[in-house]
């Protein structure tokens, strides 16, 4: 009446399907956790913060930003900390790069000469004069 061999195959197929789905979900969750605390999110946060600070600043200001967590990630990824923040005055954008590949850019609107350099765990941003 019932084929025992066929019923056993259905159970085995279902168990394999469930195990593969669990493995996929675990890998996906680990990836999301890694990305949430990694270089990508810090690049975005710092580039946006620096751009917003530049926009709200006035001439002659000197801004000191503590970037200790960015320095740790940059050192882990073999990136020189003095090259982490790049300010492009032509496109009015701030680029933060914590890995060899990639980086994140965010634009600002302030029409001033902006310089950025590292000092230990800090980045010093200076707002000098209006660009001509």
Q: Residue 6 has what pLDDT? A: 56
Q: Residue 24 has what pLDDT? A: 96
3-class DSSP assignment, residue 103: coil
**DSSP state for residue 59 in the 8-state scheme:** T
39 to 9, 57, 80, 90, 126: CA distances (angstroms)? 46, 27, 14, 26, 25
Residues contacting residue 52 through CB under 8 Å, at least 6 positions apart: 108
The token pair at 77 is 């990824």
Flag whether pLDDT at 131 surpasses 70.
no
110-114 mean pLDDT = 86
The token pair at 2 is 């019932």
pTM for the predicted model, two decimal places: 0.70
The token pair at 65 is 């930003």
Residue spans of the domains in the chain: they are: 1-36, 39-130
Please, how many CA atoms are within 13 Å of residue 61, restricted to the half-sphere of its CB?
A: 16
């Amino acid at each position: 009446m019932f084929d025992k061999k066929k019923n056993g195959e259905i159970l085995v197929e279902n168990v394999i399907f469930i195990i593969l789905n669990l493995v996929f979900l675990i890998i996906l969750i680990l990836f999301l956790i890694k990305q949430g605390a990694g270089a990508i999110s810090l690049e975005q946060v710092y580039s946006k913060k620096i751009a917003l600070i530049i926009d709200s600043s006035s001439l002659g200001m000197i801004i000191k930003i503590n970037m200790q967590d960015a320095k740790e990630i940059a050192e882990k990824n073999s990136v020189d900390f003095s090259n982490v923040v790049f300010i492009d005055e032509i496109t009015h954008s701030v680029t933060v790069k914590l890995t060899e590949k990639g980086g994140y850019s965010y634009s600002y609107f302030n029409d001033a000469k902006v310089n950025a350099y590292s000092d230990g765990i800090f980045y010093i941003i200076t707002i000098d004069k209006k660009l001509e």
